[in-house]
A and B are shown apart, each in its own frame.
Chain A
C-alpha cells in the first residue's frame, strides 16, 4: 500500500515538474517578447513624436498625427508610453520656448486624446487602474473628472485614495483637497511627509488653502504637517496663527510653528525664537536654533553662540553649523572657540571642516 502511495507521489511530482517546466518556458518567452516589444514601442513612439515636433509643413504634421493615432489606437501599453513621453516632451519644449513644437504636441494630445482614454479607465478599470488613471488625468490637467476623483479620494483602498488626493491637489481642487486632508485625520498610516507632499503639489491659491485647513481642522498631527508644508511659502498673513500655537502643549505643533515663523525671516519674531532656545524640550530648542538661521541680528547670533554650548548634541552641532554659516566676521565663532567648553569648540571645529577645505 505504502509503495503504491509512493509511486503515486512520484507520478504527481513528475506531473507538477513537467507543468512547471512548460509554464516556465512559456512565461520566460512571453516576458522576453514583452520586454523587447515594450522597448521597440518606446523607440517607435519617440520617433513619431520627433517627427511631429519637427514636421516642416501642416500636411506632414497632419499625416504624422494620423499615423500616431492609428499606431496607438486604444492599446493600453502604447497609450501609457505615449502619455509619458508626451508629458515629458511638453515640459522640455516649454522650457526651450519652442512654440511650434508646443503647438504640434498639443495637436497630438487632441488627436490621440490620452486624457479621454484615462477618463474611461476611471470608470472601467479596477482599483489600481483607477489610481493610475487619476495620476495621468492630473498630468493632463483634465478638470472635468474632478467630481469622480473626489469620490475616489474617500476610497478605503489606500492606493486609490492617495492617488486621487494627489490628483485633486495637482488639479487645484481646493474643497476636494481639504476633504482629502480631513480624511487623513482618521488615517494616521500615512507619514506626515505624504501630507506635506500633498499640499505642496497644490496648484491653486496656497495661502487660502492653508488658512482654511488651519482654521477648519483641529487635529494636531494634520495641523503640524500643514504648517510644515506651507512654511516655505512665507505667508505673512499666517504669522498670527503660528504665534498663537507657540504656547500650546503639543511639542511637534510648537516646533512646526517655530519653523514657519523662522522661515518668515522677520526680526519681529526673534524674541519668540530666542526664548524657545532655552526651552526644557530639546526638540523645541533645536527647532528654534534652525529658525534663527534666517534672522541675522546681534541678538540672534548671541543666542546661537549660547546654543552651541547646549547639553544636547543635536542642538549644539546645529547651532554651531548655523553660526559658522552666518558669522562671516567670525566674532562669535572665535568667542565660542576661546570658551572653556570643549564640546562647543569641537562642534564649531566640525562645522568649519564642513565649509572650509582643510586638505590644503
Chain B
C-alpha cells in the first residue's frame, strides 16, 4: 500500500511537470521572449481584451517585436475591476498602461489615482470624439448604444422611435437590459435615461419596468438570451450590427433609432503617474492609435476605430449614423435600485 501511494504520487507529479514542460515548450516559439529583453512594460486590462478572440494579444506581439521589449499583461477579470486591481498594484509594482476604462469610469479613476497628461494630435480622428476628449486618457474605440432587434413579420412597424415609446404597453416584456452595477452598457443605459429624463428618471423606469424581460449581470448573458430568441430587443452597441451583417450576413438585425439621440461608450487607455517605463508606455499608446492596431480593434472588438476612414469599404461604413447625446452619471444607482432591486 505504501508503494502504491508513492507510485500514484510520483505518477501524478510527473504528469503535471510533464504537462508544464510541454506548455513551456509550446509557448516558447510563440511567445518569443528572450532573456535579453532589458525592459518590461506592465499593462493592465480586462481579460477579454487579451482573450483568445480579442485584439490585445496581436497588438502586444506587434509592439514587442517592434520595440524589443517584453510586455507583461495583467488582467482584472472585467473592466469594472480595473481600478481595484490598480489599487492593489500601487502597493507592489505599479502599471505603466491601463486599457479599458470608459468615460463613465473616468471621474472615479481621476479621483482615486494620478495620471500622466498625454498629448496626441487629434487630426484625423472621428469628430464625435471631440466631446469625449480628456487630458489624461486617450480614446481607442467607441460606439453608440441602442436596442438591437430582428426584423420580424409578426411585429411590423412596432419599433420605438422616442424614449417615451419604451413605456408603451405593446412592448410588454420585450426588452433585455444589463445591470448598471456590473455592466458598462447597463451603466450607459441608466446614464442615458438620467440624461434625458432628469428628475423623472425613477418615474420613467417604473413605467418602463413591465416591458423589461430581464436585467442580466453582463452584456454577454443578455445578448445570449437575445440570440436564443428569448427577448425581442437587447440593449447593445450599434456596432453589434457589424458582427451580424458582416460575419453571418444576417441583414434582418436592425437597431432602434431614437430621435432624442443615443449614449456613446468610449474606451480609453491611460498612463498612471507612477509608471516606471513611461516612455515605452507613451509608445504603446501611440501603437494603439496606429491604423494597424485600430483595424485590429475594429475587427476583433467590433467597435468603431477612433481614426477616420478605416471603416471605409467594410461593413462598419454601412451602419446607420446615430445622433449622440452626452451622458454623465455618478455611481449613485438609488433610482435604479428603487425600481429594479428587491
Please indicate whether A and B come from the same complex rather than being unrelated chains.
Answer: no
Q: A interface vs B, CB < 8 Å?
A: none
